[in-house]
Structure 1
């Protein structure tokens, strides 16, 4: 993956082609229903940030730069965003309008969701669940070979990151993507502080937080640990941009 602390093997039991086809249908269904309900948001700000970030996708998954990446806003007050396989991303307006995210903070949110797509986290989690359920069913049914295979698969799931660990992985890969694309990775700290402050404020209105204070602290500590390395990548990206702009300017003058 090219990202520190995010190198690992993944357990996939569900075929990629089948999973992607189902996810594509789900995404199209969401878009159609959102249009009917008039909650679909087409925002150039989202498109521009995604376009800048996607140029770095191939570093993390060969060929992914050429996926049919799409991003849509959803008129929804929840502090959430979603990623589907193949580069489909949905961001709730409660997250990026409500928290008044600047371009760098928004880049972190989108890059984080890109990481989920690039790593096929949803397919991985579904595979873990399927393996565990199959193992349970076959153990009680006594179906020899299948039970043995399922038990072997389920034994691997104990070593796989779950819950907040997968989110931490998406944080790290997201930081790497945004830094390479010239967005300041320090914005991730600002974003999560905004997010948790608003989430805690909503507790007074009986809105259940999406992330506990304990998990928030762990995620922040992990981001801060890797921030110096990501900051170097960000500064290098800025230097490369200055060089490229200077080269373009010189060519224009010559012509």
Structure 2
């Protein structure tokens, strides 16, 4: 009975939800429609609590890293957030380092980002490479990728429940979810999408987008080196090649945007210098 009640309640959410894009049209990655069931407000509130728990636990375990370099990069990238999602520049963006040797970083909705020191200290990332990592995680937050994945999982579980519950209205909702899930392209990958959006964010903020290729080269070299110590790599060579090829496809456009930003900044600096001299 509990399962049936849960199914009916969840199907109500499905019937009133649909395909959407969390980011502004005309920006990288916005053309793909997303399926969202879980309300944004509730999901963000839960994520805020999770992030607070992480910070408190990390402080207790003395693994929390507050790094001015992380904050500097985040602050510069944050100014471009509204171009991708209205109002997001005003989110309570925050970034922390985590004293952890794994080559990984994490993002939560609402602009909370955690970067393992194994990733940016261990790989000796320069400013542009670090900017790509942070912009990539910002992309996950701006596109609400975690909420999207949870929505699809919830919809899948509902479809399984309807197979045993046999409720007509619920079955219709599940069928709708199935048809909407078919809109996702074959081979679609949220990480690849975050690479592209991250490239756009960092280019607009004045960071060299070529650093994305350099970062993944460092990442894969270190990952392969760790194989000798029986540490399973996070990304196989086939996926690495796919991601590099996809990044390189967008590099000319992003390089042009980056150079335009540099030219604008140079012009502004010259204008300010002339005014000071007068």
TM-score range, shorter chain: over 0.9
Q: What is the aligned partner in structure 2 of residue 116 from structure 1? A: 140
Moved more, 244-253 or 115-124: 244-253
Q: For residues 198-249 of structure 1, give each alpha carbon's deviation from its aligned partner in whole angstroms, at most 9, with x where no partner exists.
A: 1111111111111111111000000011100000000001001111112222
Residue 104 of structure 1: SS of its match in structure 2?
helix
In structure 2, which of residues 163, 168, 172 is the aligned counterpart of residue 144 of structure 1? Answer: 168
Match for residue 204 of structure 1?
228
Runs (4+) off by over 6 Å:
none
Compared with structure 1, are the counterparts of its residues 69 and 55 closer, same or farther at alpha carbon in structure 2 (3 Å cutoff)? Answer: same
Q: Which of 143, 154, 179 does residue 130 from structure 1 map onto? A: 154
1:76-87 matched pairs, under 5 angstroms = 76-87=100-111
The 8 Å contact of residues 78 and 95 in structure 1, kept in 2 or not, is answered as: yes
> What is the CA distance between 1:147 and its match in structure 2?
2.0
- Partner Cα distance (1:141, 1:212) in 2: 41
Task: Specify every segment of 5 or more residues in structure 2 that has no aligned partner in the other structure, as ranges.
Answer: 1-23
1:73 aligns with 2:97: yes
Q: Unpaired segments of 5 or more residues in structure 1?
A: none
Q: Give the drift of 1:253.
A: 2.7
> TM-score, with normalisation over the residues of structure 2?
0.88
CA contact (8 A) 2:135 2:202 kept: yes
**What are the residue-to-residue correspondences of 1:102-251 with 2, within 5 Å?**
102-160=126-184, 165-251=189-275
Deviations 1:138-158 (A, max 9, x none): 122101212211221133123
| SS at structure 2 position matched to 1:221 | helix
- Compared CA separation, residues 163 and 14, structure 1 to 2 (3 A): farther
* C-alpha distance in structure 1 between counterparts of 2:111 and 2:268, whole Å: 28
- Is the 1:108–1:188 Cα contact (8 Å) retained in structure 2? yes
TM value normalised by structure 1: 0.96
RMSD: 1.4
SS of corresponding position for 2:34: coil
